[in-house]
Amino acid sequence: MTLLDVQSIKADFPIFNKKMRNDARLVYLDSGATSHKPLQVLNAEREFYTLHNAAVHRGSHLLAEEASAAYEGAREKVAHFLGAAADDVVFTKSATESLNLLAYSFSNTNRGQFALAAGDEILVSEMEHHANLIPWQQLAKRTGAKLRWFGTTTEGRLDLSNIDELITERTKIVAITHQSNVLGTVNPVTDIARKAHACGAIVVLDACQSAPHFEIDVNSLGVDFLAFSGHKALAPTGVGVLWGRAELLAEMEPFLFGGSMIESVTMEAATWAPAPRKFEAGVPNMAQAVGLGAAVEYLTSIGMEKIHAHEKALTEHALQGLQNISGLTLIGPQSTIDRGGVLSFSLEEIHPHDVGQVLDQYGIAVRTGHHCAWPLMRKFGVSGTTRASFYIYNDLADVDALIDGIAATKKYFKVL
């Protein structure tokens, strides 16, 4: 097992000094919802505000110059993190906005490859987060296109058995998640993208649960668009990323309209700046972008491969522990093959909300409920699950705390 030096990593994260209920230490197993932030990120934001704060791209004064350099520098760092060109990286407020940006932009045109109409199809999967499902439902509604989806196998894998029926010449967009935020399943994106491209479809990847956890290279992935949120990747809240292929970004209509995204404006009409500016209307989330730049640097300095190996080791240990608990049903892949460090389970008749509440007494933070993947819950016949998710500041002791906490929960509710 190749674990990270968690003690020295934790020293960068002030929140671990906090005392939880009953003076317990914080066992944070909810990074799938949002991650904590290292001092390096908090300091980068503060430095922006206290030394360089100004509206970017709009002024000739020194602060405006420095702010622009900081903001564009962050774009370069994020681009580097993804193996992309800087101009193909758009800053949004979140992955949710990134995905909505696409769905709206596609319906802001009625010609070219982005235009959809009755007879066209949009393909998603049953394991999508609501953020990669509802925008496409709405795009289908606006355009008359039909929404279709991959099912899920009982092991929590994408059901690809009917892929030839699902991906056809009618398919215009394929939007899938890289890693399920409920099951931990990592999907065979490259294969699906190849098939989709052969049919002329555009491929959108929800990388919210992958980009923070393992190495991403947009070129080898073979997708056309990729979205993720900063706040799940050690960065501040309020910043997300949309990466897109240059030639597609160039052709697309804008989404938000306002300052800085224009080329020229009259009272009647306006024309647009080139990407990425075209998609960044208004004074942007500058400090948050700078924070995201610092976050991806921090991740890179640890090394994405090492992070992946670390989480794999934790997941291995957790799978063993959880599988030994009687009455516990793990939903999702039972091994670490093509799966990440997100573990969802049911515990006898104890409702997830109650499980979470007992764990909270021991300082253990897990997520409970439908995890914004309600259709997947229905598929597995549960109203919700308890979910533990790992990141760089977790260690084997955290996993053991979870296992012990579950035993205590059973005891508390007299389920033995």
Partner 1 sequence: MELDSLYQEVILDHYKRPHHKGLMADASKQVVQVHHVNPSCGDEVTLNLVVSDDRVEEISWDGVGCSISQASTSIMSDLVQGRTLTQAFEVLDSFSELMASKGTVVGDEGLLEDAVALAGVSKFPARVKCALLGWMAFKDAALQGKEGEKS
Ligand X SMILES: Cc1ncc(COP(=O)(O)O)c(C=O)c1O
Under rule CB under 8 A, which residues in 258-297 are in contact with partner 1?
260, 262-264, 273
Is residue 398 at the binding interface for a second copy, with CB under 8 A as the rule?
A: no
Q: Which of residues 90, 102, 133, 233 is near a second copy by CB under 8 A? A: 133
Structure tokens belonging to residue 113? 């490859």
The answer to whether 292 touches 48, Cβ cutoff 8 Å, is no
Q: In sequence order, which ranges of 11-160 are alpha helices (DSSP H)?
A: 39-47, 62-82, 95-107, 134-143
351 binds, among ligand X, partner 1, a second copy, none (CB under 5 to 8 A by kind): partner 1
286 binds, among a second copy, ligand X, partner 1, none (CB under 5 to 8 A by kind): a second copy
372: annotated active-site residue: yes
The least distance separating a second copy from the CB of residue 148, rounded to whole angstroms, comes to 9
User: Which residues would be at the binding site for ligand X (CB under 6 A)?
Assistant: 94-96, 129, 131-132, 177, 181, 206, 208-209, 229, 231, 258-259, 282-283, 372
Is residue 354 at the binding interface for partner 1, with CB under 8 A as the rule?
A: yes
How many angstroms separate the CA atoms of 314 and 299, rounded?
A: 18
- Chain residues 264-323 in contact with a second copy, contact rule CB under 8 A: 264-270, 281-288
Q: Cα separations (Å) of 387 from 148, 180, 184, 320, 332?
A: 27, 12, 10, 16, 11
Nearer to ligand X, 6 or 139 (CB): 139
Closest CA to 406 of 371, 357, 369: 357
Site string for partner 1, 41-80 (x = CB under 8 A): ----------------xxxx---xx--xx-----------
How many angstroms separate the CA atoms of 304 and 315, rounded?
A: 16
Is residue 156 at the binding interface for partner 1, with CB under 8 A as the rule?
A: no
209 binds, among partner 1, ligand X, a second copy, none (CB under 5 to 8 A by kind): ligand X
Q: In sequence order, which ranges of 303-347 are alpha helices (DSSP H)?
A: 304-323
Long-range CB contact pairs, 364-370, < 8 A, 24+: 364/24, 364/27, 364/29, 364/401, 364/402, 364/405, 365/26, 365/27, 365/28, 365/29, 365/30, 366/29, 366/30, 366/402, 367/30, 367/32, 367/33
Q: Which of residues 212, 356, 384, 405 is near a second copy by CB under 8 A? A: 356
Strands 89-92 and 262-265: what pairing? unpaired
Is residue 370 at the binding interface for partner 1, with CB under 8 A as the rule?
A: yes
Q: Which of residues 134, 163, 382, 396 is near a second copy by CB under 8 A? A: 134
- Chain residues 152-211 in contact with a second copy, contact rule CB under 8 A: none
The least distance separating a second copy from the CB of residue 104, rounded to whole angstroms, comes to 7
How many angstroms separate the CA atoms of 265 and 253, rounded?
A: 16
Nearer to a second copy, 129 or 245 (CB): 129
Give catalytic residue positions: 372
